[in-house]
Structures are given as structure tokens and as C-alpha cells.
């Protein structure tokens, strides 16, 4: 029997696929099974060693799995799946509906406390690493201001909105942080910025044959909520170009805090990610936090936890001695 | 009686002065006294409310102080002061002799474990926040490489070396990361870089009257260990220019991890600091970690700790609810 920490993956979408790959890249973790609501036979797992199991049979794996990585969607999957799985397993999820996190936390905390499991919620990069840096920067530099910028990144919601426009065959939308706004923040000027002042939107659109491109561009640029308040650029490209240049899911962004200490010394704290693949990075974070869920549950630290509750040593595969010797 | 966490500051050098200012910038912490080996009467404290006490009387304050911030030098002060104070108080220090951290940890851990105190060692930015990011990035992206760059920053040791050169009246040295090396790393190329390949050195020198400037420049540029292996620039300036343009202690740098996930997706993780004042920022980190030392000791988490052992929530003045609601 191996000493590895045994993991299950729930849901085989973008994050689930990323999680299977991320587990393979480690030496201390192993995948027991992928659980899905679909027919497990029909699921084409990239990894020949991986096994797919119907989600209804997950309960049989309580003795075989240390931590379940919950890779379902935040809108409707996780509000059901996290409490359900936290009643039987330690869990890690990436619940990202920021406004509903307090109630999600409370619901999961009740279940996990009652069933003596450790449920780390809302990990990933935002929420997750960005949240961590917002709090650390605020704690260290009380006289200052936090700024979060997102992008360059593919936005699923805005791409969907573009594709719903009349005459659009296909398309994607990138959110791009304004270089000017970033420079202002980095200079320590502490500007007041609105969300639309911080970001531009760039669309790549494949038009239907004979569609009115001017009308499409106008409809996109004036779309309320999505584009009207932003500096928006619309580019028309061919289906081949879309396939060739825009089929990845890059993302990233910055958290910057600009603060003052003493009389007027400017101190700039900055954290940034530049990701070729948003879901592969997010699931790599989930996989690292699985170590923490396992270790904290072994120390009887039960209940719902967030990145704020996890000492960094818990997510590392290395020993405390090695960390002090080689990384401090 | 106030609910604030009560702090003492040991040593009134650059970090000690920064700590006094940083405590004043918080709402939940208060300064009880500054302890010094010098005549406390002769110490000119910037803050009219602050009190200076001789270090020999520190033992009398065990009931009045929750955490001692140890602001002595790493070379000779902290190896004595940290174990001495950890036998009576919770402590935070910024011990930065990287190679000796394991033995320093062990020595402090024994004392703190025996006396039921919490001693957070080697905080600040490097060691400290940089160390934290090296470990988190490594845990999340196992297939990758860490790079640390320092600067632009004033280096005390190299400035001293410049000032020892014959014919030099005064001078400073800045370490500057190579833009080219940073670009290579950010591109995800994972280059092999030596320390001298990553940094340049720029000196501002005030020469003695009638000194041979060519000889000074040559002696600096060929100085073994300090400059010979580096791309070094020497600029001669006046005493007034030195005073006007080079009397602050800026510093900073980057930790970058470039890693791959899945087949070949590049993921760049980057943390950076741009500091007008190195000691004021460092002491702001110490002050934030004082909250953690106090809280962890209240939870009986005794012994020596590093940034790896401290859950981020412990350093924040905010409640767990507020962090989840406003920062996650
Ligand atoms: N915190 C962060 O930084 C961060 C970053 C990115 C994403 N997220 C969160 O992660 C969540 C999941 O993202 P995702 O991109 O993995 O979502 P997704 O691909 O839509 O997958 C969600 C679920 O849908 C099901 N599914 C996937 N492909 C399917 C298909 N072809 N047919 C039918 N069902 C399918 C899967 O469940 P079954 O296998 O059970 O069918 C899967 O678990 C998002 O909702 C977001 O909230 C967080
Ligand atoms: N981890 C990090 O990121 C980081 C960053 C920066 C520095 N550091 C560490 O912090 C340590 C302290 O740095 P620092 O710049 O504060 O050192 P410093 O100014 O030289 O002060 C060190 C000690 O020297 C004494 N002192 C200061 N000024 C004096 C004076 N005019 N005359 C006589 N004694 C004086 C003080 O003790 P008394 O009051 O008892 O005399 C003080 O505690 C460094 O050794 C370094 O290791 C760490």
C-alpha cells in the first residue's frame, strides 16, 4: 500500500480534467477515481490509469479516499455537491460566487463540523491566491489601497453574450487590464478607479455569411452591463483563425496594494499570474490544497476552511525541515 | 484597560524606528516601550508617546507586553537576543542569515517550547514574504523553476565595500535585476541563470579631492566576490548629490515561478515588491506577524515558527467573517 494521499475528483469538466493532470504531476498524491453524473463508461478519460465511477457510488469510497476535489460549477453544482460530499469526505472546492460565499461557508461549516471532515472552500486563484494577497497586503500596509485587475483573459460570460448577437456565428471576448490604470497604481498615486476604468474588452467575432458587420459591432459595443461602459474593440476574423488563435483559455491578472509607511514612503506590493490555461492552474491550486485538507483533518481541524485558515506549509509536499533549509 | 495587543520593540536601529511608526499606523496594536542597550535617556524617539527603557529591565515587563519585536542585527544581536527574549515573551524577528536558519530555528525552538512562548523567526520580505511565495509556487506548479531577483536596492554590504576603496570619501551601491533575465524568465523559457547573470551593480561614488578616479573605478570593478563577476557601473557624483539623491534605503525584487501544466501550458506566478524604504516595510511585516505570535500563543501553539506555519488570517486585524465577506 502506498503512502500517497488518495484523491477523488468529482465532475469531469475543465477543472476535473485539469485536476487529473495535476495529480499526475505530483509524487505524493494519487488519483483513485473520477466521479461523474454522466454515464461513466462514456467518459473519455485522458489518463489510461484513471477510473470513472458514477457519482451515486461515491459513498462506497469513504475508506479509500482521503480528499475529494470538487470540480463542479459554482452556479448550481457546488451548492449541492459540497455539503453532500463534506458529510462523507474531506473536500476542496473552487466556489467562486463572491457575494454568496458567507452563506456557502456557513452551510458547509455546519455539515463538516458535524461529520468531522475538513472542507476547504473557494480555493483557486480568484477566489484563492488573489484573496490571500489582498488580505496579507492589507495587514502589512494599513495605510493603502488594494487593486485587483483581471486579464488578459478569456471571459466565458462575455463570450456567450457576443455569440448571442444577431449575425454572429462564433466569437470570444478577452478582458484586458488597462495599462494606463496599472501604471497609475504602480506609481503609488492611489487613483479612484471604476471597474470599467480598469479594463478594456476585446472581441474576436466570426460573422455569418452576408451579415451586417457594422450592425454587429454596434450591437456589441452598446450592449448594457456587458460592454456599454467599457472601451470595447471588435475584430472580425475567420472560423479558421478563431480555431487556431483563440481555442485556449488564458487568464490571469494582478493584485496590487500601494501603501505608505512612515512619513511618505511608498511601498508597492504586487502579485500577478499569467496563465496559458485558467482551468489547469485553478485545478493545480485545488490539488495543492488537498494536502492541507488531509493534514488538517488528521489534526482534527474540522469544519469549513478558506485560504486564510491554511498555514502555507500544509500545501507543500516538502517537510518543514526542507522548507526552512531550502526555501526560507 | 485597552483591548489592544501590547508590543515592545527591542533595539532602536532602522527596523526599530520603522516598527514604532508601523505600530502607530494600526488600530489594534499598541507600543508599551522601546528597549535598548544604549542609555535610554539619550535615545531620541520620534514618537512623543513612546518610552525608552534599558534592555536589562525588560524582564519586569512580562505582564505588560504580549509580544516583543526583535529589531537587532542578524549577525550578532539576534543569535543572543531571540533565545533570551523567547524565554520570557512571545517574539517576532527578522533573522536573515539564510545559511544558519536551521540551527537558529532549533535553538529558538528549544527555548520557546520549554518556556511556552511563540517565537516567529525570520519574517520580513526575504526571508519572509519571498520565502512564502517560493514555497506556494513550488507546491502549486511542481513542474517548474523558481527565480528570485533582488533590487533595485541599496546593498549595505556592497556600499561598505565601495567606501573602503582608497580615495573614496563616500558612496552607495545599488543591486539592479537584469531586465533581460527577467524577460527571459517571464517568457517561460526557464533559463539557467547565475547570480551575476541576474543582477547588475551600480555605484555612486564621492571621490576625495584629487583622487585618481580611473584607479578607483578599476579597483571597484575588479574587486573579487563583490564586483568582479558582475556587470558593474561606477558613477562619480558630489557629496551634495549623494545626500540629495541617495539617502533613502529603497529595495525590493521579484519571486517568479514559471511552470508547466498539462501538455505544455505555461503558467507564470509572480510576486514583487517595490519599496521606498526597506526597513519600514520589513518592520511593517514584523508588526503584522506580532498579531500571529499573540494569537498562536493564546492557542498554545508554542515553539519557534516561520511564515510557513502561520495561517494568513492570524496576521490580519480583521475578523474571519469580514475576511470571507470582503476579501475572498
Ligand atoms: N477560484 C477560481 O479561481 C476559479 C477559476 C476558474 C473556475 N472556477 C470555478 O470552477 C467551476 C468549474 O469550472 P469548469 O470550467 O470546470 O466548468 P465545466 O467545464 O462547465 O464543468 C462543470 C461540470 O459540468 C459537467 N460537465 C462538464 N463537461 C460536460 C459535458 N461535455 N457534458 C455534460 N456535462 C459536462 C461536469 O460534471 P459531471 O462530470 O458530473 O457531468 C463538470 O463537473 C466554475 O463554475 C467556476 O466557478 C474557479
Ligand atoms: N527579513 C528581511 O527581509 C530583512 C530586511 C531588512 C533587514 N533585515 C534584518 O534586520 C536586521 C536589523 O536591521 P537594521 O537596519 O535595523 O540594523 P541597525 O540599524 O544596524 O540596528 C541594529 C541594532 O543596532 C543598534 N543601533 C542602531 N543604531 C545605533 C547607533 N546609532 N549607535 C549604536 N547602536 C545602534 C540597535 O540596538 P540598541 O538600540 O540596543 O543599541 C539596533 O537594534 C538586519 O541585521 C537584517 O538582518 C531583514
Taking only the tens place, the pLDDT of each residue in A217-271 is 999 999 998 999 999 999 999 999 999 999 988 999 999 999 999 989 999 999 9
The CA distances from residue A307 to A63, A120, B328, in Å, are 26, 8, 9
Contact indicator for A34, A51 with CB cutoff of 8 Å = yes
- Return the CATH number of the domain spanning residue range B129-277: 3.30.360.10
Task: Give the pLDDT band of residue B46 (cuts 50, 70, 90).
Answer: confident
Q: Count helices and strands (H / E) in chain A.
A: 11, 14
Among the four given CATH numbers 3.30.70.920, 3.40.50.720, 3.40.1010.20, 3.40.920.10, the one describing domain A5-124+279-327: 3.40.50.720
Residues of A in contact with B4 (CB under 8 A): none
Nearest ligand to the CA atom of B281: 2
d(CA B50, CA A261): 18
* Contact indicator for B267, B141 with CB cutoff of 8 Å: yes
Opening angle at CA A292, ends A289 and A294, nearest 5:
115
The per-residue pLDDT for A288 is 98
Residues, chain B: 328
Alpha-carbon distance of B291 to A289, in angstroms, equals 24
Considering only CB atoms, which chain B residues are within 8 Å of A100? none
**What is the model's pLDDT at position A194?**
87
Residue range(s) of every CATH 3.40.50.720 domain in chain B: 5-124+279-327
First to last CA, chain B: 33
B291 is in an annotated binding site: no
B147: distance to nearest CA of chain A, Å? 11
From the candidates B123, B134, B270, B327, which should be mutated to test the interface with A, based on the most A CB atoms within 10 A? B327
- To test the pocket of ligand 1, the residue of A73, A121, A255 to mutate (highest count of ligand atoms within 8 Å of its CB) is A73
pLDDT in tens, B48-88: 888 999 999 999 999 999 999 999 999 999 999 999 999 99
Mutate to test the pocket of ligand 2, among B13, B19, B130 (most ligand atoms within 8 A of CB): B13
Q: Where in chain A is the domain with CATH 3.30.360.10?
A: 129-277
B203 is in an annotated binding site: no
Expressed in angstroms and rounded, the spacing between residue A225 Cα and the centre of ligand 2 is: 54
Contact B306 A318 (CB under 8 A): no
Q: Is B230 annotated as a binding residue?
A: no
Contact A108, A304 (CB under 8 A): yes
Question: DSSP secondary-structure letter at B229?
Answer: T
Over residues A106-129, the pLDDT tens digits come to 999 999 999 999 999 999 999 999
Q: Do B224 and B170 meet the contact criterion of CB atoms below 8 Å apart?
A: no
B251 is an annotated ligand-binding site residue: yes
What residues of B are in contact with residue A261 (Cβ under 8 Å)? 18, 21-22, 25, 277, 280-281, 284
What pLDDT is stored for residue A216 in this prediction? 97
CA-based nearest residue to A243, from A186, A160, A145, A170: A170
Among B26, B277, B309, select the one facing A262 at the smallest CB separation.
Answer: B277
pLDDT single digits (tens) B150-170: 999 999 889 999 999 999 999
Dihedral angle computed from the Cα positions of residues A161, A162, A166 and A170, in that order, rounded to the nearest 10 degrees: -120
Which residues surround ligand 1 with Cβ inside 6 Å? A 11-16, 36-38, 71-74, 77, 94, 96, 124-128, 278-279, 282
B210 conformational bin, left if phi > 0, alpha if psi -120 to 50, beta if neither? left
Report the nearest atom of ligand 1 relative to the CA of A96.
Answer: 47
pTM higher than 0.90: yes
Mean pLDDT over all residues of chain B? Answer: 96
Integer Rg of chain A from CA? 22
Averaged over B38-48, what is the pLDDT?
89
Query: Which regions of chain A are under pLDDT 50?
Result: none
Q: Is the pLDDT of residue B194 over 70?
A: yes
Predicted confidence at residue A195, as pLDDT, reads: 81
pLDDT at residue B228 is higher than 60: yes
Amino acid at each position: 500500500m502506498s503512502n500517497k494521499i488518495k484523491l477523488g475528483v468529482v465532475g469531469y469538466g475543465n477543472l476535473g480534467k485539469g485536476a487529473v493532470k495535476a495529480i499526475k504531476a505530483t509524487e505524493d498524491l494519487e488519483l483513485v477515481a473520477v466521479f461523474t453524473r454522466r454515464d461513466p463508461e462514456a467518459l473519455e478519460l485522458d489518463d489510461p490509469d484513471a477510473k470513472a465511477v458514477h457519482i451515486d457510488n461515491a459513498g462506497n469510497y469513504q475508506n479509500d479516499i482521503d480528499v475529494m476535489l470538487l470540480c463542479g460549477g459554482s452556479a448550481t453544482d457546488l451548492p449541492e455537491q459540497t455539503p453532500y460530499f463534506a458529510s462523507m469526505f474531506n473536500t476542496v472546492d473552487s466556489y467562486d460566487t463572491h457575494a454568496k460565499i458567507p452563506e456557502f461557508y456557513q452551510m458547509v461549516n455546519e455539515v463538516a463540523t458535524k461529520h468531522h471532515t475538513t472542507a476547504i472552500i473557494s480555493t483557486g486563484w480568484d477566489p484563492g491566491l488573489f484573496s490571500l494577497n489582498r488580505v496579507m497586503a492589507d495587514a502589512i500596509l494599513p495605510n493603502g489601497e488594494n487593486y485587483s485587475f483581471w486579464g488578459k483573459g478569456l471571459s466565458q460570460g462575455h463570450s456567450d453574450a457576443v455569440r448571442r448577437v444577431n449575425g454572429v456565428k462564433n466569437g470570444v471576448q478577452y478582458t484586458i487590464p488597462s495599462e494606463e490604470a496599472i501604471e497609475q497604481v504602480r506609481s503609488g498615486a492611489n487613483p479612484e478607479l471604476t471597474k470599467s476604468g480598469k479594463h478594456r474588452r476585446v472581441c474576436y467575432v466570426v460573422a455569418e455569411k452576408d451579415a451586417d458587420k457594422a450592425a454587429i459591432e454596434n450591437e456589441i459595443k452598446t450592449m448594457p452591463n456587458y460592454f456599454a461602459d467599457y472601451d470595447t474593440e471588435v475584430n472580425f476574423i475567420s472560423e479558421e483563425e478563431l480555431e487556431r488563435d483563440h481555442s485556449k483559455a488564458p487568464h490571469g491578472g494582478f493584485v496590487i496594494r500601494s501603501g505608505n509607511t512612515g512619513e511618505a514612503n511608498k511601498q508597492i506590493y504586487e502579485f500577478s499570474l499569467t496563465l496559458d490555461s485558467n482551468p489547469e492552474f485553478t485545478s493545480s491550486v485545488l490539488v495543492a490544497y488537498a494536502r492541507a485538507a488531509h493534514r488538517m483533518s488528521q489534526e482534527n481541524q474540522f469544519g469549513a476552511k478558506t485560504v486564510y485558515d491554511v498555514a502555507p506549509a500544509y500545501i507543500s509536499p516538502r517537510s518543514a525541515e526542507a522548507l526552512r533549509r531550502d526555501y526560507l
